[in-house]
Amino acid sequence: MAATALALGATGPARATGAKPAFLHGVASGDPLPDGVLLWTRVTPTPEAVPGSGRGPAVEVGWQVAEDAAFRHIVARGRVTASAASDHTVKADVRGLRPATDYFFRFTAGGVNSPVARTRTAPAAEADAGRLRFGVVSCANWESGYFSAYRHLAARRDLDAVLHLGDYIYEYKSGEYPAAKDVVRPHRPTHEIVTLADYRTRHGHYKTDRDLQALHHALPMIAIWDDHEFADNAWSGGAVNHTPGAEGTWTARVAAAKQAYFEWMPVRPSVAGTTYRRLRFGRLADLHLLDLRSFRSEQARKGSGAVDSAARTITGRAQLDWLKKGLAESDTTWRLVGNPVMMAPVAFGALPAHLLGPLAGLLGLPAEGIAANTDQWDGYTHDRRELLDHLAGHSIANTVFLTGDIHMAWANEVPRQAATYPLLSKPVATEFVVTSVTADNLDETLRVRPGTVSLAAETAVKAANRHVKWVDMDSHGYGVLDVTGERAQMDYYVLADKRDPASAASWARSYRTRSGSRRLERVNSPVA
């Protein structure tokens, strides 16, 4: 475990003055391997070379990795070039490091040093890791509040990495989400982002946040995208928040969004143009990371039996086969799945299976009840059924889905057939869903006091979906996943007030699944 304390950002980020380069957007690391890690920064070579401008000269950037924060024992170094072609962002894929080891890194340009940051490599592939601990976050909307959740995770000294499950940025124009009167702080640019310059500018603006910088300076990040890195409810051919013609083609917009994402994020793509990939953490766990936007079919109409169509997909054929193969061949104790949208079914009007099946066929209704959100796996039940049947048919144990997107915290058992759970259909996996860092929850969206609608909704959800063990529709915060050979436990933490930049955080609830059980248990305290 990381144990060395490091003072970060005490004097604040540098400021571009004259012709001197500056590191205004911090530094970051990501995708840890047993022998390496990916390093990232963005250098501002001259004051006019702001993100998205396409301006500014190329500049040579050096990087160093050391065993100590004072850089007395440098173990790796190199040089890269930052230019306008990549928005002056640079990456260094460093190898030759020791497994399960803390390192410190920095960049230099024109005699100016970046902030010093800490990172950590993964355990050796065949090592008995003993324990892993990840921070887990999703859905950080700049205009909805402050990123205090990031600050609290950065302050911990017991984490191996942070897992970001998507919606790292939001694409809306200022005052659209949330409404203008509820905006806590305006983002840039103020219009909806559509072009490459727009996406670069928005990414750059997010990375001026002190709490976000602190998180990147403290821990390697493992990130996947969801829809708002592109546009709301994105699918392979469009999005709710995209108007063809007025906003150009969807193909051009996606290409711009992906280019900016890979420029600005410490992500190592394993398949060109996607974020699905796999990381291993010794013999304890492997982490399968999904891309559920690039290949999916358009969302079905709610209440439509089209959600069950074999012609529709959320993963695409190649990715689903890759996931099934990886889960079946895994030799680790735990199979963690970084999953942007919720896996467990959430349906209303469900009937016993012997009644629901025939009625669904006659009436053209979904075979698992009326799904509440067809943007989730509920809208793509054929893919879900194939995956869950694969887990059951191959007796694949200890699969844990780690999920974001829905702006609520959930603890779910994942049944093979929800209609006959728990008597005839046992769980085949478990799922921990983290709430949003700031993005609006149910009552905030409806502009009513906390608990006005959410408490009744929580009761209704659990009554109709017995595999849902807990749901919190009111809070914002983050999770801490602690994994040992015996169990995987998620500790849920909530913020006191997302609108307060100094917001406190407190533990709210914990659930665990024991190795081999596929069941959830409530735990009365977080892991020490």
**Residue 135 clears pLDDT 60, i.e. is over it:** yes
Superfamily of domain 1-121: Purple acid phosphatase-like, N-terminal (2.60.40.380)
- Is residue 2 scored above 50 in pLDDT? no
- Looking at the predicted structure, is the pLDDT value of residue 40 above 50? yes
pLDDT at 367: 65
Mean pLDDT (the chain) is 92
pLDDT value, residue 527? 97
pLDDT at 354 > cutoff 80:
no
Q: What integer pLDDT is reported at residue 419 of this predicted model?
A: 79
Q: Whole-angstrom Cα distance, residue 64 to residue 74?
A: 7
Predicted pLDDT at 371: 72
| Whole-angstrom distance, CA of residue 428 vs CA of residue 393 | 10
Side-chain half-sphere of 172: how many Cα atoms within 13 Å? Answer: 20
**Confidence tier at 370 by pLDDT (50, 70, 90):** low
Helix ranges (H only) for 219-315 are: 250-264
Q: Could you check whether 1-121 and 122-523 share the same CATH topology?
A: no
Average pLDDT over residues 417-424: 86
Given a cut of 70, whether residue 494 has pLDDT beyond it is: yes
Each residue of 143-191: pLDDT tens digit?
999 999 999 999 999 999 999 999 999 999 999 999 999 999 999 999 9
Task: Tell me the pLDDT band of 446, cut-offs 50, 70 and 90.
Answer: confident
State pLDDT tens for residues 4-26: 333 333 333 334 556 799 999 99
What are the residue ranges spanned by the domains of the chain?
1-121, 122-523
Q: What six digits make up the tokens of 500?
A: 């307060």
Rounded to 5 degrees, φ, ψ at 420 are -115, 10
Q: Looking at the domain covering 122-523, what would its CATH class be? A: alpha beta
Angle at 405 between CA 206 and CA 150, to 5 degrees: 40
Q: Is the pLDDT of residue 351 over 50?
A: no
Question: With contact defined as beta carbons under 8 Å apart, do 47 and 57 qualify?
Answer: no
Contact call for residues 381 and 388 (beta carbons, < 8 A): no
Distance (Å, whole) CA 130 – CA 77: 31
What pLDDT score was predicted for residue 11? Answer: 33
| Least confident span in 349-358, 424-433, 494-503 | 349-358
DSSP letter for 319, please.
H
pLDDT-derived band at 363, boundaries 50, 70, 90:
very low
